[in-house]
Structure 1
């Protein structure tokens, strides 16, 4: 579920050209490695605290235990904003991508919102039912998606490129040339959703064992997958040309992912990747839908949202009502954007991804601070593990503060909008944190809510 939310093929087709074209060119693979390192440091404290967090809810639950209910409620609002934003952004992207694909094969020209709403209807059906059905759909899509990229990487390595199997990307004078910070920024956005392992706590057989395992595996697999594939594209295109090719892609003059695929796997390979890009987007939006539905479920159990959202379907054992509410929320936002005539890529995806990125870094920063605060107060729970309970979370805080600075100082590159619009969008997660904290009230546990 988490790796599907990371949408590997979507990141390779979107974030990678951005990191190369606007960032440090051939050194972009190092940006993905740095992002993975920061998130790995975050994960150490995150999973160490897992046994001391009795309920699902990911960031909300961890921050509540570490920093108190008021801060936890603020973080809960930020999480809802971030996940809803990225989900709506992906709906806009997939609507555009389906229309672009149909047009490429000489199909009818249909407005993108119609495709987006068709996908939303399918996601609503799957999200309403038991999580295993969504997991099976995501599993098939993810296996196909990763398989074709691995095949592409192998083909590139076998064929080499204009400079052979070069390791130029990892030379200091190369990855420090240009804007390494921008490469790290777009690498970070590719990891959004990795912490969702804890959201599915109530549906895991052995959460104390499987949540840490899944979290570490997600960071390592996603980070390695991105870095290796990014390096493979540098090999295929050549370290001297890859930045220019990426910039042409951003200008709409070509497509780095599909063009490189056609050169390595032929026209059939290009067609397969084009289709799997759509399934990648679908897997991504379905995964985020499930995460948001469960966030609302937990928040309702805490008394922050209406108690009805904490109900469980009698037959599907799913937060069905919460899923329906999330579907309605996404539908309303999409309808407003469609009526306003917002561009699905720059306007919908760009701006929504920007809001989600700021929100996600803010959430992880608060969570790392919560880990440090919790183990300072409860020294009896440290078990002598200074690295896991103090040093790693503190280093994660420093890394995330640096990441936040990178995101905010380069925010117009993420949103594609004006400085004024970007400032307003960047302020939304911070405003959500403030509103959630100010609206704080004593919370009920889930059991108390059900009894009530």
Structure 2
């Protein structure tokens, strides 16, 4: 059979539009890790964690963040078979706590992902211009590169998700390969003076800067919930989603920790903090300078190029996640019905993808016209907003897991650990993380206390707005359920 030639959207009322696909564990893990942007995190977050955090103990911060997320994932994937739609945190919270809280979670997710997407566009603009000028090209205003990237993302986001998966997979393999090569080179040669085993001593791990290290580690995991967002496009989602979730968090956490330890080892215990600080001062680059010393100038230049592909893969992943959030909310009647249509040729939420592109373009244009710095002003502040939002979402989701299984004891029978213990432990861990994020928020945003406070309140405000508007949404659900009962 030939594929339909129409490029329009399917607006037939005969049956609800639904996304389809055969994504396996590997493809989903690729997209989740790509959203985490490993090379970007190692090049940016690691120096921040080392210089502003607990120094040589920073690698343990990534392990602690991964541990909290793995505990969270236990309840998250245990509830997966009981959540029948691809809405990730929104769907989980709705199932456990009702539509009011669910709509609040949806609004927080839209804010968080839009913020980090816009932030990465800003980072991309700066990094692309830096790369061009490094190789002798002209200096161009960063918004030019940002909007060019947005145009490419718009084309890929309009088409079927499997095309994006292939693009993300290629970019991810390359950036991980070059970073693994650097890690191996550092540990094989012993670094400056052998592996820095003092990284794991209690005095370094539990120093006052641990909170800063955990904070920047958490920002590196943003996007891992995408495993559940793609459930409609996954092959056997009941098995694929849990496996992809555990694999993604474990791979990201171990990779970050090892790479951070490699950079510390390359600099040496005594010089790790000064080297990282020079990166923050713009006098060097901890990751690229280490690559030049251990891999040579050629691979150092390759890594510089791959930083661009890392950022691109990251922003493409966030774009796909946002489009699917809008698609699901449209089917719930919360957003306009047009956003719930699929393209009959590409079987993708193409309308939602176009709207998401337009939304990001408007926000980025405003920030550019205000004259904000692309790194501190755009990326820093937007990453801060997103981090607050994601910690809030995970905390509420863990509460939803506990409540759901308390109301459905048959579903929890014989499974106390994944349905009760793990979610409660996750709540406590996430609350601790929330305190760490808030108490160190100015380090992420780069702004004043007043500006940082306003930005930190954006996600909670979005949640409250959802709770308020959720009353109308609840009535809509009740009406639909009543109608179904009458028909039955």
Same fold (TM over 0.5): yes
Q: CA deviation at 1:166?
A: 3.1
Secondary structure of the structure 1 residue equivalent to 2:296: helix
Does residue 216 in structure 1 map to residue 253 in structure 2? Answer: no
Does residue 442 in structure 1 map to residue 473 in structure 2? Answer: yes
Unaligned runs of 5+ in 1: none
Unaligned runs of 5+ in 2: 1-30, 481-488
**Structure 1 segment 64-213 matched on structure 2, within 5 A:** 64-213=94-243
**Structure 1 segment 56-71 matched on structure 2, within 5 A:** 56-71=86-101
TM-score w.r.t. the length of structure 1 is 0.98
Structure 1: distance between partners of 2:467 and 2:267: 50
Structure 2: distance between partners of 1:272 and 1:207: 37
Aligned length: 448
Does residue 348 in structure 1 map to residue 381 in structure 2? Answer: no
Does residue 402 in structure 1 map to residue 445 in structure 2? Answer: no
Structure 1: distance between partners of 2:39 and 2:302: 12
**Contact 2:103 2:466 (8 Å CA) reproduced:** yes
Structure 1: distance between partners of 2:192 and 2:144: 43
Structure 1: distance between partners of 2:190 and 2:235: 45
Q: CA deviation at 1:282?
A: 0.2
Does residue 294 in structure 1 map to residue 324 in structure 2? Answer: yes
Secondary structure of the structure 2 residue equivalent to 1:384: coil
**Contact 1:45 1:371 (8 Å CA) reproduced:** yes
Post-superposition Cα deviations, 1:421-440, rounded to whole Å, max 9, x if no partner, equal 00000000010001111011
Q: CA deviation at 1:311?
A: 0.3
Give the aligned partner of residue 326 of structure 1: 356
Specify which of 429, 436, 441 is matched with residue 411 of structure 1.
Answer: 441
Give the aligned partner of residue 274 of structure 1: 304
Give the aligned partner of residue 23 of structure 1: 53
Q: CA deviation at 1:178?
A: 4.0
Q: CA deviation at 1:244?
A: 1.2
Q: CA deviation at 1:384?
A: 0.8
Does residue 240 in structure 1 map to residue 280 in structure 2? Answer: no
Post-superposition Cα deviations, 1:300-329, rounded to whole Å, max 9, x if no partner, equal 111110011000101000000000000000
TM-score w.r.t. the length of structure 2 is 0.90
**RMSD over aligned Cα, in angstroms?**
1.3
Does residue 229 in structure 1 map to residue 259 in structure 2? Answer: yes
Structure 1: distance between partners of 2:57 and 2:191: 16
Give the aligned partner of residue 84 of structure 2: 54
Q: CA deviation at 1:269?
A: 1.2
Structure 1: distance between partners of 2:192 and 2:254: 24
Structure 1: distance between partners of 2:86 and 2:340: 12
Structure 1: distance between partners of 2:195 and 2:395: 38
Does residue 308 in structure 1 map to residue 321 in structure 2? Answer: no
